[in-house]
Structure 1
């Protein structure tokens, strides 16, 4: 597969070419409760304004500038979580939970899965799950299970939480910001969906693990042999400092949720708050100022690839906005959806986002591309923007667990030695369970007119 940047640059060229072919047009807009919304049935064609050669490259520059707040949110979040990770608090906390549940197979699988799912839901663990798969292998080997279980309780659980992302700045945070929905609003319904999806994932994994415990021949890839790996990797200190760091991060995130509701804090506040989290965690960890600075910057550097995707994706929209063809695409998409009920229209958004994720596996990049289209489309077809945000989130999250274009998935499978075909065979029934849950949640969201609450 071409690199994500290659795909996005190709789409940028297609968008520029489309400005010469697609009719320009606009909708009338009105401000409702301080949010600018499209007025249905007001589309009209305007004068064509095609994109010039230099405009393509100016759009890339403008895309980076206009997306500066979101780009720095991703970078600063990466820096903060790198400081927490380097302190050993996350690994120490997880391994303490592992050691507390030794000899209790179900509770061990459940507890480890919940911890990684929470990490995925708040954005603390996503791409960084890859090294933890090695720990999953040691746990699975100790339980006389196989590598699929190891991937499931680490990578699988992380993305079960990522599917909902009730406090994930990289996906839900960015999508809500673009959709003009209050930051992290609608959290209660998302937390409920998180509990159901993670619960289903744990049950599915445990059901498979029980079969292997009864008959090792039931394993799709063969039970892990004893003696492999280093059991000492399951031993790590979990000091008072580690507990203070995790408590500090949890309190900071809880306060931020409170502040978004009470003080209407925005994405910019969250980016600034991650600097506070990084500095505070480093001080508690006992890092000197040089180490704290370099660790924070290392975390930022690790996310430069994903952060700049936001700017490239924004450039595509700038080209379409400047040529006034974005509304034309929204109008063209709305026509076939007009005959559908809002429920089926929302489900259509969900399916479309899943398909887009095959080409653009970056959650933040996909949000930048689809949400400016989904937001006005939602206004026209009678779906709330909150539902549109979750349709995007489900479409992006679910397919990360099975599409071979997902870098974290393929890296995790490589570490565990699990062929993608074997994983897909195991994962497909669970994916269908997730889809059913998503359909129910989106349906409920449409019926209750799920808004910014």
Structure 2
């Protein structure tokens, strides 16, 4: 017997995420009542606001009203980041709508069944290849939000291979996040940070390639061990987050599954062509400025076309295709609330006037430390800042102008300062509940944040120790 389910933000995950984010929103509000307000002078460089070092001063003024804590999730839409937040929301709705069409047309099911048949005796090789691809997207190109459309596909593939949803998230979300951590030429973290620090863009790559390779093998080993542990023990009643057209208890696709590839060949080819176009656009984004600036809406548009075109080529009428799209988009609306709450936490800290104060206190702490301690403190500062500011390039414009000259004064190379910044930014990308991409991914997988945190804690701890070792080695070799 076949089963059908749709991509949606599950009620359980939604409620637990709401509770966590509301608690964080209140905590941020309390901080604005305790921490003194202050600010750095900022100057505009290439359209971005960069902090002027040694320009901090405490300010006096009214504390952020308590009412603003609760209105922050709405006010953030009218802030400087309102456009990107609205873009992410529309991106989420498009994904929900397009995937629902692809599910109903059995396009994703056909592709997954074909992959399972081809790799049924080499599935751990398939896992290793997928992890490498997703890690490379984060490490070399700086892709993160754009992988959201692929997450349900990876979850479905994982379950078809007798693994679980966590393995599917590990192959995609976790791998991309770790790619950010072990970035080699990520233009949004490495590129921006090196340009601000005044050193050659993408210099020092050989050492970062070594870090990437080590991180890849550790993550792949972790995922394979987990997959082997749970293989064959999945609850047979568990259904996957997108349509598979069969129960998980079957060892391989049945004749109906195999036939789906043949009967919907047009829809499958259309989706694969659109996916190839998305990959090409992603690869071009670092070298084509207009694509880089509009990457998210462009990817969303291509995915929209892939969904609607796939539905029509599968024999659906335009009316039915659009109705399916609207139904899928509606199922994703709880994600909008999560995104607004997550960005509202940052908005409270910024409008409360304490972000620069926290950064000033941190820089004073760093300047009175030894070389290794200073690097570890930079790592920790960025790690904490990522809780409030998810964008790697935004953090670079805020913190690099301060820590780069500070490190140089302490006899530490700017390259090492950027490495510490990179580690702090990357490893927390898939850890904090204020990260909208993580919340969306967990909602698609119908997994609670607590369960995710328990699962990634061990690998995060291991990579934390490994990254500290790389900082220590970097100091020794004069990186």
TM bucket (normalised to shorter chain) is 0.5 to 0.7
State which drifts further: 85-94 or 116-125: 116-125
- Maintained 8 Å contact 1:30/1:36: yes
User: Could you report, residue by residue, the CA deviation over 1:57-101 in whole angstroms, capped at 9, with x for unpaired residues?
Assistant: 554432123243223332333344342564244443333222112
Q: Which moved more, 1:42-51 or 1:436-445?
A: 436-445
Give the match for residue 393 of structure 1: 426
In the alignment, structure 1 residue 31 sits paired with structure 2 residue 44: yes
Does 380-389 or 325-334 show the bigger shift? 380-389
TM-score of the two chains, using structure 1 as the length reference: 0.66
Distance 1:392 1:259 in 2: 21
Structure 2 SS opposite 1:163: helix
Corresponding residue number in structure 1 for 2:271: 245
> What is the aligned counterpart of 2:303 among 249, 266, 278?
278
Aligned to 1:376: 398
Deviation at 1:42, TM superposition (A): 1.7
Q: Report how far residue 408 of structure 1 moved.
A: 6.3
3-state SS of the aligned residue for 1:51?
coil
Q: What is the match of residue 75 of structure 1?
A: 89
Distance verdict in 2 for CA 1:241–1:230, change over 3 Å: same
Paired with 1:58 and 1:151, the residues of 2 have a C-alpha distance of 35
Pairs within 5 Å for 1:40-119: 40-66=53-79, 67-82=81-96, 83-84=98-99, 86-87=101-102, 88-104=106-122, 106-111=124-129
Cα distance between partner residues in 2 of 1:407 and 1:280: 21
Taking the aligned partners of 1:305 and 1:179, their CA distance within structure 2 comes to: 35
CA contact (8 A) 2:286 2:292 kept: yes
CA contact (8 A) 1:76 1:274 kept: no
Residue by residue, what CA displacement relative to the aligned partner does 1:39-64 show, whole Å, maximum 9, x if unpaired?
22221122222223554455443212
**Mean CA deviation greater in 382-391 or 90-99:** 382-391
Which residue of the other structure, out of 217, 220, 223, is the alignment partner of 1:202?
220
**Structure-2 change in CA distance of 1:123 and 1:193 (3 Å):** farther
Deviation at 1:229, TM superposition (A): 0.9
Q: What is the deviation of 1:175? A: 8.8
For residues 210 and 86 of structure 2, the distance between their equivalents in structure 1, rounded to whole angstroms, comes to 30
Structure 1 gaps of 5+ residues are 141-148, 167-171, 213-218, 357-364
| Shift in CA distance, 16/228, structure 1 to aligned 2, threshold 3 Å | closer
Q: In the alignment, is the contact (CA less than 8 A) between 1:81 and 1:124 conserved in 2?
A: no
Deviation at 1:449, TM superposition (A): 13
* Matches of 2:271 and 2:473, distance apart in 1: 38
1:344 aligns with 2:370: no
How many pairs align?
406
- Tell me the secondary structure at the aligned position of residue 275 of structure 2: helix
* Secondary structure class of the residue paired with 1:367: coil
How far apart, in 1, do the equivalents of 2:303 and 2:43 lie?
A: 40
Structure 1 residue 327, shift from structure 2 partner: 1.6
In the alignment, which residue of structure 1 is the partner of 2:390? 367
The 3-state SS of whatever aligns with 1:36 is strand
Cα distance in 2 for residues equivalent to 1:385 and 1:293: 47
Shift of 1:125: 5.8
Superposed CA deviations along residues 305-359 of structure 1, whole A, max 9, x for unmatched, are 34444433444444444443322122122222223446323432465479x5xxx
Contact 2:159-2:248 within 8 A present in 1 as well: no
Partner of 2:318: 289
**Distance change in 2, residues 1:249/1:25 (3 Å):** same
Counterpart of 1:30 in 2: which secondary structure?
strand
- In the alignment, the residues of structure 2 paired with residue 60 and residue 224 of structure 1 have an alpha-carbon distance, to the nearest angstrom, of 38
Change (3 A) 1:411 1:299: closer
Q: Give the whole-Å Cα distance in 2 for the aligned partners of 1:111 and 1:242.
A: 22
Deviates more, 1:427-436 or 1:154-163: 427-436
Distance in 2 separating the partners of 1:180 and 1:65: 31
C-alpha separation in 1, matches of 2:320 and 2:419 = 41
1:437–1:330 CA distance, 2 compared to 1 (3 A): same
Conserved 8 A contact 1:175-1:367: no
Q: Which secondary structure state, in structure 2, belongs to the residue aligned with residue 332 of structure 1?
A: helix
Task: Tell me by how many angstroms 1:281 deviates.
Answer: 0.7
